[in-house]
């Protein structure tokens, strides 16, 4: 059984097959999204992106040396984007390869605009792919991500969990197929809550009566301010 080196672990044929059809699953879930700016952080430079009308993608992928793609940077530093820069963020197996997965997840939440969608896909720790993943990733900076931990982290960041489902084939040796309830990967979809504007408590100003208004019986006109 081959042991994949750190730089080509995610480029292996089984993992490429597992990632290959994920964008098709996402398209129906995102058809009603109205955003125009999207960010994908993945582990390969040629994985397919969802063909969403009007959506402009910024693509990054993780390597041993940091981020590569449309911009470059170190993986242990903040993303080089301003707050709330994107309407859609997709972490495609990036948390498995990130040196600090929690920091990457927090950064993804930071650059996500209110009302925007964060998608996370990863190998499920409870499934047929987990033993294969752990065997080939031993001694490398790769880690499986428990979905319940991600959900808890996202809620702390102010996101609401909208959907979780399994993706892909249940076993590494199977050919690409429709998503299975026992699929080797999972999709987690969360939405960033919009901030609620609380109006300031204003002090009411005295109203002035317009000329010609009807006054209450007995009121004198000269007493109107």
| pLDDT bucket at 113, cuts 50 / 70 / 90 | very high
| pLDDT confidence band for 25 (50 / 70 / 90) | very high
Q: What is the CATH number of the domain that holds 56?
A: 3.40.50.150
Does some domain include residue 161? yes
* Strand partners for 74: none
Q: How many domains, in total, are found in the chain?
A: 1
Would you tell me the crossing angle of helices 101-110 and 147-156 to the nearest 10 degrees? 40
| Per-residue pLDDT at 217 exceeds 90 | no
Residue 115 exposed, middle or buried by CB count within 10 Å (0-12, 13-18, 19+) = middle
Helix extents (H) in 111-163: 129-136, 147-156
pLDDT in tens, 160-173: 999 999 999 998 87
- The model's pTM is 0.83
Residue 128 burial (10 A CB sphere; 0-12, 13-18, 19+): middle
Q: Say if 205 falls within a structural domain.
A: no
For residue 5, pLDDT over 70 is answered with no
Task: Please report whether residue 121 resides in a domain.
Answer: yes
Q: Tell me which of 3-17, 29-43, 67-81, 127-141 is least confident.
A: 3-17
For residues 17 and 63, what is the distance between their CA atoms, to the nearest angstrom?
A: 19
Residue 146 belongs to a domain: yes
Query: In which domain, by residue range, is 146 found?
Result: 6-194
């Amino acid at each position: 059984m081959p042991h994949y080196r750190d730089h080509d672990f995610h480029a292996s044929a089984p993992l490429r097959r597992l990632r290959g059809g994920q964008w098709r699953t996402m398209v129906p879930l995102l058809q009603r999204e109205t955003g125009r700016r999207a960010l994908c952080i993945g582990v390969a430079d040629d994985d397919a992106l969802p063909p969403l009308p009007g959506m402009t993608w910024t693509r990054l992928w993780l390597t041993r040396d940091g981020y590569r793609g449309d911009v470059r940077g170190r993986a242990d530093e903040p993303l080089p984007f301003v707050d709330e820069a994107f309407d859609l963020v997709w972490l495609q197996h990036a948390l498995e390869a990130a040196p600090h997965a929690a920091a990457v997840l927090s950064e993804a939440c930071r650059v996500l605009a209110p009302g925007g969608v964060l998608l996370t896909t990863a190998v499920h720790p409870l499934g047929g792919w987990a033993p294969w993943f752990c065997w080939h990733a031993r001694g490398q900076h790769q880690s499986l991500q428990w979905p319940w931990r991600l959900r808890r982290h996202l809620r702390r960041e102010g996101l609401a969990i909208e959907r979780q489902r399994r993706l892909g084939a249940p076993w590494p040796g199977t050919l690409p197929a429709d998503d299975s309830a026992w699929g080797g990967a999972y999709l987690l979809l969360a939405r960033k809550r919009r901030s609620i504007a609380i109006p300031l408590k204003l002090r009411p100003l005295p109203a002035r009566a317009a000329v010609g208004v009807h006054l209450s019986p007995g009121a004198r006109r000269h007493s109107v301010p």
